[in-house]
């Protein structure tokens, strides 16, 4: 699933490269030698712990949905079978077992720019940071990653894991920026997809709101015309003398006697 650690730059130890190739994802985590030397990590840059911290950061930040599942004695053949079934739903779905203690620390330090750094470790310890999803990491844990916010993909994953019964079952996870439990996850999977929601919205605007806008514009034009016409008539009346204002015979000027 992941390429092994490699080092670059003329045989000198550089920042480890973790290129995720599963489902078409590819992201190099390498930096130049100078950047590697300036990176102050809690464990050596070339260590597996730092490597896993970087990989977990990549997974967390590049997938909209991350589901946590408890697994019991999964064999290599089980892993391959589950991956194949998940890829049948979407090639963008990934499955990976976790090193729970390392992932727990990643979650606690995830707000830091470099969760594997000494500064991140000090921050977690000083502030006694805990993460809301930590309770899901008790016992053997795996994550299922979905790139986009797609309820239908979650529904497919739900069905696959339901067939696994006690070997692998969902606990909760992250959906967008929200942390959800199993019940909320069950509600989310029944929602329409974003393309479906957009199509419904366009239809509503066309059939309902669109017609309403046209009527509103037509009504506004008619009201404006009536108002202008009424104002014109009022002005014309103001220009004409009223009947009571017409001069009478008595009001006519008379000649002066000589």
pLDDT band with cut points at 50, 70 and 90 for residue 170:
very high
E strands in the chain: 65-71, 93-97, 141-146, 168-175, 178-181
Q: Which tokens hold the place of 2?
A: 């992941």
Q: Which residue has the higher pLDDT, 174 or 213?
A: 174
Q: Cβ atoms within 10 A of the Cβ of 61, count?
A: 9
User: Domains of the chain, with CATH numbers?
Assistant: 22-197 (3.30.70.1730)
* Segment 30-67, tens digit of pLDDT: 444 445 567 899 999 999 999 999 999 999 999 999 99
Q: Could you give the dihedral angle defined by the CA atoms of residues 250, 251, 252 and 257, in that order, rounded to the nearest 10 degrees?
A: 70
* Segment 102-131, tens digit of pLDDT: 999 999 999 999 999 999 999 999 999 999
**Nearest CA-CA partner of 98 in 131, 74, 116, 121:** 74
Residue 36's pLDDT is 58
Rounded to whole angstroms, the Cα distance separating 63 from 67 reads 10
Q: Which tokens hold the place of 243?
A: 């009947």
Question: Is the separation of the CB atoms in 192 and 114 below 8 Å?
Answer: no
- In the predicted model, what is the mean pLDDT of residues 166-176? 94
**Nearest CA-CA partner of 158 in 187, 132, 198:** 187
pLDDT band with cut points at 50, 70 and 90 for residue 196:
confident
Residue 18's pLDDT is 39
Residue 201's pLDDT is 72
* Segment 178-192, tens digit of pLDDT: 999 999 999 999 998
Share of the chain above pLDDT 70, in %: 66
* Segment 139-161, tens digit of pLDDT: 999 999 999 999 999 999 999 99
């Amino acid at each position: 699933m992941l390429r092994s650690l490699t080092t670059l730059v003329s045989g000198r130890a550089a920042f480890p490269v973790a290129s995720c190739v599963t489902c078409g994802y590819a992201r190099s985590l390498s930096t130049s030698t100078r950047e590697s030397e300036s990176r102050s990590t809690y464990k050596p840059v070339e260590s597996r712990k730092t490597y896993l911290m970087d990989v977990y950061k990549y997974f967390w930040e590049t997938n909209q949905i991350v589901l946590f599942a408890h697994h019991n004695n999964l064999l290599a053949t089980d892993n391959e079978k589950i991956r194949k079934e998940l890829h049948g739903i979407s090639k963008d779905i990934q499955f990976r077992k976790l090193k729970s203690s390392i992932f727990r620390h990643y979650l606690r330090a995830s707000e830091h720019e470099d969760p594997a750094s000494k500064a991140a470790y000090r921050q977690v310890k000083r502030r006694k940071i805990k993460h809301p999803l930590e309770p899901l990491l008790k016992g053997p844990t795996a994550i299922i990653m979905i790139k986009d916010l797609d309820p239908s993909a979650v529904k497919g994953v739900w069905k696959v894991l339901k067939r696994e019964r006690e070997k692998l079952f969902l606990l909760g996870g992250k959906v967008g920026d929200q942390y959800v439990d199993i019940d909320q996850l069950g509600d989310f999977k029944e929602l329409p997809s974003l393309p479906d929601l957009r199509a419904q919205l366009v239809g509503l605007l066309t059939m309902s709101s669109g017609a309403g806008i046209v009527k509103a514009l037509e009504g506004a034009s008619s009201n404006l015309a009536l108002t202008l016409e009424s104002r014109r008539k009022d002005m014309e009346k103001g220009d004409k003398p009223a009947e009571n204002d017409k001069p009478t015979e008595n009001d006519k000027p008379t000649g002066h006697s000589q």
